[in-house]
Amino acid sequence: MQKVLFVCLGNICRSPTAQGIVEQRLREQGLDDRVAVDSAGTHGFHIGAAPDERATEAAARRGVDLSRQRARCLKPEDLEEFDLVVAMDRENYEHILRMAGDRHAHKVKLFLRDYAPQAGVDEVPDPYYGGRGGFDRVLDLIEQGADGLIASLRTGPGG
């Protein structure tokens, strides 16, 4: 089983959305017995909370259910446990790299840079303080990254 962890700041907007989208696509493609997905935040502001309702609603409009997820904080053991730790933006990428150290740095990815270079941006922008339209933009970007990530999981170990 390959294990993939998506990471953003609060674990209530971007990384739960990435988890939900990728889980759904893995199920649709019959890969859910080969790849397990989770998400976490680099900060603990919202531990135990359900995803932001704007994220839940935007995902639901595309047929993806986020409602059962609960926020948690990234911990050092995650770098041991997961094969890939995928950051939504550069700030969180740098944070994870510092936690990973030399031993686990190879597992740490920047989602759009590494899996959706055609998107033209490296980061999934933080939608928390913006309007609802920001959540659709987040979904558009995450759908592109999800396709690239799943394609790379099909072709080789570690992605």
Residue ranges that bind ligand 4NP, judged by CB under 6 A: 8-14, 45, 126, 128
Residue 73 designated active-site: no
Q: Among 38, 52, 78, 126, which one carries the catalytic annotation?
A: 126
Look-up of token digits 């309007």: 131
The sign of the torsion formed by the CA atoms of 101, 103, 104, 109 equals positive
Q: CB 92 → ligand 4NP: shortest distance, Å?
A: 8
Amino acid in position 76: P
Residue 14 designated active-site: yes
Q: CB 140 → ligand 4NP: shortest distance, Å?
A: 15
Residue 97 or 124 having the CB closest to ligand 4NP: 124
Residue 12 or 108 having the CB closest to ligand 4NP: 12
User: How far is the CA of 17 from the CAs of 99, 103, 135, 138, in angstroms?
Assistant: 23, 28, 9, 8
Residue 8 designated active-site: yes
Residue 23 or 89 having the CB closest to ligand 4NP: 89
The helix-helix angle for 133-155 and 53-61 (nearest 10°) equals: 70
